[in-house]
Amino acid sequence: MDLRQLRYFVAIVEHGSFSKAANQLRVAQPALSQHLRHMEEELGVTLLHRGTRGVLPTEAGERLLQRSKIILTEFGELRDTVRGEKSAPVGEVRFGIPGTVSELLSVPLIEAAQARYPTVRIRIAEAMSGYILDWLKRGEVDLAMIYSTSDPTGLATHHSLTEDLCLFAIPDLTACQVESGQPVTLTEAANLDLILPGPSHGLRNLIEEAALSINAPIWPAIEIDSYGQIKQLVQRGRGYGILPRTAVAREVKAGIFHIWPLVAPPLSRKVFLAYSTERPLSAAVRAIGQLAWETLAELVQDGVWAATLADESNRPTLYP
């Protein structure tokens, strides 16, 4: 196998079609098919399955896809790595970001990167923090914004900001007797019909740990992992939600939701910038990592993100 064959294989899988990949690569479709046959013969396994939904990778194909992306990315960054800081950063940066963070960070970061580093391309991948952490450890993303990690081995993490969680509901709900905007204890919140993420979700774990510390177990009325769906259910009057204040700021401003700060104990979560210490970082990755921190700081300082910026000692020094 060679790099060209790996590039062809990745294109076929990503497009889900030989013809689409051939058009994108400007290669004749029979040539792509021939390269695939040679790869399968050399490896002794079937890499692709042709079905009604197009071309899909087999289990072996999935493994090859993951490794091929890493190899192609590292090869593309080779020249940049050798040159170091003597030239402008060039290449693709794969950035894993949770959905709620992405809503605020992705567009400003992409725009800032286009202005400062026009030869760098950012690919944003959204998922829950736990999945993003797995991607980072497997080398499928170069940078990540995560909420926490119980196993920091092989990772560098920089505390970026802390955001408060709040209780929220539509004005018509009356189960919470506390006036809107006034503090509600977690014990009081635990007795309401709560709509929360499921047990495997990081936010749910944070809430449950705090509740157990005061002997106030949480029994949600509804469990659903999507923040968007939680807000929809709350808006329909199905119960009360607990989310970061920023996640409901738009609805609060529009008068759709009332919010209550949570106390005894107060609930907050930290957001970290993370990257691997077991793989060299290209100049492009280091530049975007530094820029992400600066962009986060601007969002907090401008009041776009209702959060507290981390201490300056946590600022990364990845790129000039």
Tens digit of pLDDT for each residue in 42-65?
999 999 988 777 888 899 998 898
249 domain-assigned: yes
Which of 22, 49, 76 terminates a domain? The answer is 76
**Number of other CB atoms surrounding residue 89 within 10 Å:** 22
Percent helix, strand and coil across the chain, each to the nearest 5: 45, 20, 30
84 domain-assigned: no
How high is the pLDDT of residue 79?
Answer: 65
85-144, pLDDT tens digit by residue? 556 788 899 999 988 899 899 999 999 999 999 999 999 999 888 889 888 988 889 999
Contacts of 271 (CB under 8 A, 6+ apart): 101, 145, 146, 147, 159, 160, 161, 162, 163, 296, 307
Please answer whether residues 190 and 211 qualify as being in contact, where contact means their C-beta atoms are separated by less than 8 angstroms.
yes
320 domain-assigned: no
- Mark whether 180 and 240 lie in a shared domain: yes
- Mark whether 157 and 167 lie in a shared domain: no
Residue 169 has pLDDT above 90, yes or no: yes
Of 87-96, 178-187, 231-240, 266-275, the one with minimum mean pLDDT is 87-96
Which pLDDT band holds residue 279 (cuts at 50, 70, 90)?
confident
Q: Which value, to the nearest 10 degrees, does the dihedral of the CA atoms of residues 73, 74, 77, 80 take?
A: 170
- Mark whether 172 and 240 lie in a shared domain: yes
Q: Could you give phi then psi for residue 149, rounded to 5 degrees?
A: -150, 130
β-bridge mates for residue 271, sequence order = 161
CA distance 16 to 74: 24
Please answer whether residues 282 and 91 qualify as being in contact, where contact means their C-beta atoms are separated by less than 8 angstroms.
yes
Residue 190 in tokens:
């635990």
Q: What is the CATH number of the domain that holds 178?
A: 3.40.190.290
Domain that holds residue 145: 90-161+270-314
Percentage of the chain modeled with pLDDT above 90: 56
Domain count, the chain: 3
Question: Model's pTM, two decimal places?
Answer: 0.70
CA distance 276 to 100: 23
- Mark whether 263 and 276 lie in a shared domain: no
- Mark whether 264 and 167 lie in a shared domain: yes
Determine which helix (DSSP H) or strand (DSSP E) holds 274, and give its type and residue range. Answer: strand 268-276
CA distance 279 to 62: 22
How high is the pLDDT of residue 110?
Answer: 97
Residue 295 in tokens:
């962009």
- Mark whether 253 and 293 lie in a shared domain: no
- Mark whether 257 and 167 lie in a shared domain: yes
- Mark whether 126 and 96 lie in a shared domain: yes
CA distance 46 to 198: 37
Average pLDDT estimate for 148-175: 89
Q: What is the CATH number of the domain that holds 48?
A: 1.10.10.10
- Mark whether 278 and 233 lie in a shared domain: no
Residue type, 91: G
How high is the pLDDT of residue 238?
Answer: 97
| Short-list 167, 169, 195, 164, CA closest to 255 | 169
Q: What is the CATH number of the domain that holds 295?
A: 3.40.190.10
Which of 268, 285, 301 terminates a domain? The answer is 268
- Mark whether 15 and 139 lie in a shared domain: no
185 domain-assigned: yes
CA distance 120 to 98: 22
- Mark whether 177 and 232 lie in a shared domain: yes
How high is the pLDDT of residue 216?
Answer: 93
58 domain-assigned: yes
83 domain-assigned: no
- Mark whether 72 and 98 lie in a shared domain: no
Helical ranges in the chain per DSSP H: 3-15, 18-25, 29-43, 59-76, 78-83, 99-116, 129-138, 186-190, 202-213, 227-235, 249-253, 283-301
How, if at all, do strands 184-185 and 143-146 pair? unpaired
Percentage of the chain modeled with pLDDT above 70: 95
